[in-house]
Chain A
């Protein structure tokens, strides 16, 4: 085959969200008839780049070209017409409809009064499903399928849509080896037919089997694009993390106290967590690293009581305790700042002061009646202390910037004076200044003797802020490293399962 033409090109894409610079003049080129892997850590900008290509997001600057022609106003509709299809980790199917119908609805362009041909739908579905090797009954309800099955259905649908560009985001995350092999053969078929495939995956070991080229993103920039044959895993990891550690984070050494939290063989079948052993001491910051899907948030939720554990033990200050609900966890001195700030961290439409006091209502009340003056005081105090910029503490949290919203979320838990504070991606999506403030706050808390468990996908943050680092992979903690022995490379390697 001669040098293939460029099928889809993104040139110098720049995109910022609310003070976070997601992509900095990133570029990417996909040729027809190739499988091009796109890798990078969490937050490197992969999903933003993909969304720009599928038209879901509009870039601030930069250009997209399809088959050499620039696309000025991309949109989901236009992308679909051009033949750009994406399959994400969370399949978007209609749960009550059959598999055949799900596949048909995306594919058919039917007039509203036309008659549906069930036979044809079923045949087409069966055919496509067979081609991806999915053992799925076309008449089954989509909602009844397992996740891997749903994924295969989506892939089959994309197949049927005659996509020219197929973007696959972590397609093998929940597939068995055999299913993976099937999938790869399908991908190869597509590739041989001239389809360009962007393959996003953390499973570095798979890439040599399927990808022709690989592009590495880091901190919103395109670092390098290499031929798969010319690079090995170590080098890839190096490219993914190779950044200088700035001196922003050094965590001050603090005398460590007793063990506050200890987890022994903790597990929960429904969440996929098993055999977790961990301890956190007063004044200590334990960083919890791992890839998305490794189970870190699930573990946090177990400790906080949202989804209680069903095996193993939790010991709080040496005493075993069964945590069945969030109120109970809070009573025991545990606080959790969730990852999803807008949905779980704060209540957007509620006032700032109300948000701040929401987890400590009984502490601010006597016989159930609220002490408004006290509430105002507390809210004003924390607003000042954390530097939340707002004209009024009675404004709804929705009016604040991301960084300030996170400060509100933090304040809420600080009011409860917890002995264990779990932070889930505390600085995700906030600007640099606010980030620094949050880190400073964490260090103060540690100095005051609070035990902190910090979940983060930012390796520099993990390395800079943690006394110890626990790495999670596939639902359990695979290693615990001291700060001195941890490097970005070995953390990432552990997180990837090596």
Chain B
């Protein structure tokens, strides 16, 4: 009789070894196609980026093993982050006390889930769907949507941004400690054992004397606690705390857990598997990025991987059930499982290969470079034959505003013969921005140009880039001054705010009521502008009154609905100022449909999407600048930095078709804000 399980079954009870294979293959592929993928620095960066999601994945492993789920972990991060920020900045508590209270808040929130699930017996899916909404909502409510806590002490920030021994990210130790704790707890304690029993059969566990409700309550409370811990690290990492922290993290964490072999039906799962699953995803994303592939590809592949994994899980469960019905564990069953897993991983790898191979030409050119001797791992002025690589990042790839900037950037890149990398988060996501910059540093690009969403957080990583000899510029929105070489400025927030106000005043004849439709209440740029708008109003236009600020969340339809409401609640409003690109057409459509000919719309948006409204007269004018030119100029400035043409003390810059552009005070100025109106809008196409 066998008295010890084979080491393979003990370490990999759910065939997690396949993930090792997947990771190995990913590494193999990406070290060829991705720049500097296979370096120690990159490896550490990958781990740094996975700490927050990793913590969530660890606790979710426990929960899913019991047959439950917790969708509220991401929202909990948001809530904990703003609690931490508020306690630190507004209540002036010492950071340690603030951290302690934040963890306490996590426990209390977890208790809400625990009570409804363990005590009242509600399905975890629905309860945590509710708290997913509730926690995020409370976070937004507490901060009025706007607050952005920053200015944390260096000691605190070291937690998330520092390096130990110069190369190991600090939070890695936290992750390692957490992995050790969870591993011990799940695999070596009686509590962990009871979770598996509960997952397989809650009733069976009860009859064995296991306090089921108590165990379940514990894991959900733990979830709240761990999410708060993740929030603390997140804040230390980025240097800021906002209510949108952790958005989307629950998806990634659940994916990592399920991918790692944990069965969604309960009873199976390991910490090792979850970590392997997490790394498989993170390496996939990192590798794709370093290979110049779009981030969306990672999303699609992750979705496919997830479905594939549970199909396999389901099939193997059916096999197991059938085998049990005959009460025989046949040799065939084991082999069947192995071969199906092999097929599945084969499919995934082939898919990955097809995809990376799809950008065949870039692979080829990279291989050529490797052979040609000039590796791309050194930044700085290019050796002969080295095509300069300019990495350009918008705030949000999905925002039409930035899409138009890309137009100009592409144009300039073609003219100058440089390689242009365009990547960034799909929606506003400061954490992602940092990730992408890290990847570029590893890749060793020549210039990094960022439109900054999060000033404090990005500056740390930009400084790092500078240390490595990479040129750094910011465009559209600035970082901290010492973190970048130049800012490509289309207009200052003050300039924008004042121009908007002046334009509004012109339309309203210096008196009357107006309302603002902004992006989201927490959008940094917009809030800056609003500050200056209010300033200008106080300064120059005492007879004009701003009656409301409504959010559109970047959603045209929402801007539409909010405008409709404003028109009804404030019947005296004669002007809508929409300061987000999708909001202007939304507001305009609302005004047009309302038939109120006395109301006009102005704001900040792109010409194309507003042409019909400008022509019909609803939109009086849009304040902007030539975003295409902005992108164009940025690339030219970047190239000039590389060649040394642009130096700190310069007063002007020659930029292709734009001619001579003013340079002053570390800024390359595009010019004054431009006002699009009926007279000139047809000249533009973006």
| Residues of A bordering B, CB below 8 Å | 18, 306, 325-327, 329-330, 336, 338, 343-350, 354, 358-359, 361-362, 364-365, 368-370, 372, 376, 380, 383, 390-396, 398-401, 412
Contacts and interface: CB of A to CB of B under 8 A. Distances in A.
Given A347-B200, A369-B184, A369-B188, A394 B1 contact: no
B539 interface: no
Contact of A368 (B190, B201, B206): B190
B569 to A, nearest CB: 43
Given A345-B207, A350-B200, A362 B190 contact: yes
B223 to A, nearest CB: 20
Nearest to B184: A369
Nearest to B5: A394
B327 A359 contact: no
Given A358-B210, A369-B184, A401-B327, A390 B194 contact: no
Contact of A326 (B193, B207, B328): B207
A370 B207 contact: no
A354 B320 CA distance: 19
Interface centre among B190, B194, B201, B267 (most CB of A within 10 A): B190
A285 to B, nearest CB: 22
A396 B201 CA distance: 14
Contacts of A399: 323-324, 327-329
A459 B565 CA distance: 79
Given A343-B201, A370-B193, A358 B329 contact: no
Contacts of A370: 188-190, 193
A306 B184 CA distance: 31
A398 B1 contact: no
Interface in B191-205: 191, 193-194, 196-197, 200-201, 203-205
B328 to A, nearest CB: 7
B492 to A, nearest CB: 60
Given A325-B211, A326-B207, A354-B196, 12 more contacts: A18-B327, A306-B207, A347-B208, A350-B200, A358-B208, A359-B208, A361-B194, A369-B189, A372-B188, A376-B4, A399-B329, A401-B327
B284 to A, nearest CB: 31
Q: Which 7 A-B pairs have the closest CB atoms?
A: A392-B2, A361-B190, A398-B324, A344-B207, A347-B204, A394-B5, A358-B208
Contact of A395 (B208, B211, B329): B329
Nearest to B329: A399
Contacts of A306: 206-207
B659 interface: no
A380 B193 CA distance: 19
B9 interface: yes
21 contacts: A306-B207, A325-B211, A329-B209, A343-B203, A344-B204, A344-B207, A345-B207, A347-B205, A347-B208, A349-B200, A349-B320, A350-B196, A358-B193, A358-B208, A369-B184, A369-B189, A372-B188, A393-B2, A394-B2, A394-B5, A398-B320
B188 to A, nearest CB: 5
The dominant DSSP class at the B interface is: helix
Contact of A380 (B1, B184, B188, B200): B1
Contact of B197 (A350, A368, A390, A401): A350
Contacts of B320: 349, 398
Interface centre among B194, B211, B329 (most CB of A within 10 A): B329
A195 B327 CA distance: 41
Interface residues of B, number: 33
A365 B189 contact: yes
A305 to B, nearest CB: 9
B3 interface: yes
B327 A398 contact: yes
B204 A343 contact: yes
A343 B209 CA distance: 14
B4 to A, nearest CB: 7
B15 to A, nearest CB: 16
Contacts of B193: 354, 358, 361, 370
A370 B187 CA distance: 9
B430 to A, nearest CB: 40
A348 B201 contact: yes
A271 B208 CA distance: 21
Contacts of B184: 369
Nearest to A404: B327
A346 B193 CA distance: 15
Contacts of A330: 209
Contacts of A326: 206-209
Contacts of A325: 211
Given A365-B189, A368-B189, A348 B1 contact: no
Contacts of A392: 1-3, 5
Given A350-B197, A380-B3, A390-B1, A327 B211 contact: yes
B217 to A, nearest CB: 15
A393 B197 CA distance: 17
Contacts of B1: 380, 383, 390-393
B411 to A, nearest CB: 59
B207 A327 contact: no
Nearest to B10: A394
B267 A368 contact: no
A170 to B, nearest CB: 25
B203 A365 contact: no
B168 to A, nearest CB: 29
Interface in B149-195: 184, 188-191, 193-194
B197 A358 contact: yes
Contacts of B4: 376
Contacts of A338: 207
A399 B204 CA distance: 17
A29 B201 CA distance: 42
Contacts of A391: 1-2
Contacts of B196: 350, 354
Contacts of B5: 392, 394
Nearest to B9: A394
Given A399-B324, A400-B327, A327 B209 contact: yes
A393 B208 contact: no
A315 B323 CA distance: 46
Contacts of B209: 326-327, 329-330, 358-359
A349 B194 CA distance: 13
Nearest to B267: A349
Contacts of A327: 209-211
Nearest to B198: A347
A346 B210 CA distance: 13
Interface centre among A326, A343, A347 (most CB of B within 10 A): A347
Interface in B308-348: 320, 323-324, 327-329
Given A358-B208, A400-B327, A347 B2 contact: no
B496 to A, nearest CB: 59
Contacts of B189: 365, 368-370
A329 B200 CA distance: 23
Nearest to A347: B204
Nearest to A344: B207
A325 B197 CA distance: 18
Contacts of A350: 196-197, 200, 267
A230 to B, nearest CB: 45
Given A370-B193, A376-B3, A401-B327, A348 B208 contact: no
A327 B190 CA distance: 14
Contacts of A362: 190
Contacts of B323: 399
Contacts of A393: 1-3
Contacts of B207: 306, 326, 336, 338, 344-345
Contacts of A329: 209
B183 to A, nearest CB: 12
Interface in B369-405: none
Interface string B8-33: 01000000000000000000000000
Contacts of A400: 327
Nearest to B324: A398
Interface in B570-604: none
